[in-house]
Amino acid sequence: MNIRGIGLAIVALAVTGGLFWFGTGLNPSWPFMWVAPVPVLLFALEASPWAAALVAGGAMILGLTNLWSFLHGALTVPLAILIRIYLIEGVMLALAVLLFRGLARRHAYWSALLAFPAFWVSFEWFLNLTSPHGTGASLAYSQLTFLPFLQLASITGPWGMSFLLLAFPTAVALTVHLWSVNLRQGLKILGATVGVIVLVLAFGTVRLMLPPPPGALVKVGLIASDGPNERVADEGAPAAQLLNEYALRVAQLASEGASVVVLPEKTVTVVDPDTPNTDQKYQKLADDNHVRVVVGVLHVVPPGGGHPERKYNEARIYTPNGTHVETYEKEHMLPPFESNLTPGTRLAVLHGSGKSSWGVAICKDMDFTRLGRRYGSEGAGLLLVPAWDFFADWVQHGHMAIMRGVESGFGVVRSAKGGSLYVSDNRGRILAEVKSDALPFTALLASVPDTHDGTLFQWLGDWFAWVAVVILIFCLLELFRASKPQS
């Protein structure tokens, strides 16, 4: 590679890496991701395969350094695993760019347009199916505040969002490449891509403007405490004291009209056979104040009956005048912190304020589209979510749950230690939010529509991910069928 080529490689690496850095991470800015891949795609069209792969992979790794301190520090991801994650992400982007390059240099421009986003969406979907972090790595989360575009999740889930997010820069790169040799072809590619995006944004704008299906407004309360309480209170006196302090705030929110109050994940430790004592106190709290209370606990079941000790990350639900305490056990654990916990297997479907139902999930459960779809199929109008974040990720991870509500048609009530308390509607609009460390005990009272709005994604699931896989297979076949690369 000559000096000019080295200079172009450095520019492409730095610009795309920088755009990835600002467009993803703990507090992403959505516009950057719409153009981030353009420099590496343009470079790939003129460079050797090895140079294109190295620059593309390097740019992805450079961009992901925005998460290094969080992953290695707060999440204590071992260095070897962290390096493996970075290498996998870099290699996958390099392969996607090489597929784009191979097709474009064979003049299969339409296939090149589709190949790059199809490859990446197929990779994201594979991670969703195999990784304990579900959809956590999806580029779609960079667009949570771009509300008209976010509405696409109601049709395709995150997969269609990632696809269009990468199709646009691919079209731009192809148009620039074809500018002097076949401008008409380039403008057709760009025009078709922009046309689809315009239709998507028009759909999203109309969806945001339309009134939701009729339903009652429900006042919901959220409480969280950080500082010395930003841990799981031990069983016995520490747990009882903290629950008493929470109970005072629950009663206050109920007096202000809250129909349900949600406490954070793993607020206290409860150990059988003493769990009924906690249940008795909080059932009385619910009865006396006419308010449903959702409490996140670490529930320990000692060994017995041929079973070893079991621990559950659990939400215990106290309904006024209820005949029994309903429970939900978290399904998706955060490794390694929760590797010793027993995952749950069933939903907790509650009677809501009207025709819709309410559901309960816990923190990381909301990284998975399938759980949201299951609650959507039950007609959920609200999902009540005890959670626990790491302060730094209160935007990046804490707000992922918003997309589940758009995908499957329900509002989200999420109360997190180490993060924020927020309420969002089924269009992804945050109706109220406050940081959990604003006060020793932070409380939020907000009104949210208790309305289920059925969506195409709720009914058909990952149909667009399958489309992406089919497109990828077609493009791979096209790569081998097409003529040799043009110089």
pLDDT band at 307 (very low <50, low <70, confident <90, very high): confident
Q: How confident is the model at residue 484 (pLDDT cuts 50, 70, 90)?
A: low
Whether residues 425 and 447 share a domain: the answer is: yes
| pLDDT at residue 413 in the model | 98
Residues 174 and 261 in one domain: no
Share of the chain above pLDDT 90, in %: 87
Which range of residues forms the domain containing residue 437? 216-452
User: If you count them, how many residues does the chain have?
Assistant: 487
pLDDT band at 483 (very low <50, low <70, confident <90, very high): low
User: Do 173 and 77 fall within a single domain?
Assistant: yes
Q: Residue 248 is part of a domain; what is its CATH number? A: 3.60.110.10
Within a domain: 160: yes
- Count the domains in the chain: 2
**Mean pLDDT (the chain, rounded):** 94
Q: Are 108 and 242 within one domain?
A: no
Looking at the fold, whether 129 and 240 belong to one and the same domain comes out as: no
Q: How confident is the model at residue 4 (pLDDT cuts 50, 70, 90)?
A: confident
Note the pLDDT tens digit of each residue in 391-442: 999 999 999 999 999 999 999 999 999 999 999 999 999 999 999 998 889 9
**Domain presence at residue 487:** no
End-to-end CA distance of the chain: 16
Return the higher-pLDDT residue of 304 and 449. 449
Strands (DSSP E) along 96-157, which ranges? Answer: none
pLDDT higher than threshold 90 for residue 1: no
228 and 191, same structural domain? Answer: no
- Does the pLDDT of residue 229 top 60, yes or no? no
- HSE (CB half, 13 Å, CA atoms) of 238? 13
Q: What is the DSSP letter of 108?
A: -
With CA atoms as reference, report the closest residue to 52 among 35, 62, 40. 40
Residue 302 lies in a domain: yes
pTM of structure: 0.95
Residues 192 and 240 in one domain: no
- Span 264-297, pLDDT tens digits: 999 999 999 999 999 999 999 999 999 999 999 9
Does residue 377 sit within a domain?
Answer: yes
Does residue 337 form part of some domain?
yes
Of 155, 122, 126, 130, nearest to 460 by C-alpha is: 155
What is the pLDDT at residue 215? 72
Q: Which of 383, 382, 392 is nearest to 436 (CA)?
A: 392
- Reply yes or no on whether the pLDDT at 353 is more than 80: no
Instruction: Look at residue 457 and tell me if it is in a domain.
Output: no
The predicted pLDDT at position 227 comes to 65
Strand partners, 196: none
Please tell me the distance from the alpha carbon of residue 133 to that of residue 220, in angstroms, as a whole number. 29
How far is Cα 101 from Cα 111, in angstroms, rounded to an integer? 11
Q: Based on the domain organization, do 249 and 267 belong to the same domain?
A: yes
Is residue 428 situated within a structural domain?
yes
pLDDT of amino acid 268: 95
Nearest residue to 398 (alpha-carbon basis) of 383, 386, 408: 386
Q: Which residues of 118-150 are buried (b: 16+ CB within 10 A; e: fewer)?
A: bbbbbbbbebbeeeebbbbbbbbbbbbebbbbb
391 and 372 in a single domain? The answer is yes
Answer whether residue 124 is part of any domain: yes
The predicted-structure confidence for 97-142, as pLDDT tens digits, reads as follows 999 999 999 999 999 999 999 999 999 999 999 999 999 999 999 9
Shared domain check, 203 and 220: no
**272 with 205, same domain?**
no
Residues 353 and 477 both lie in one domain:
no
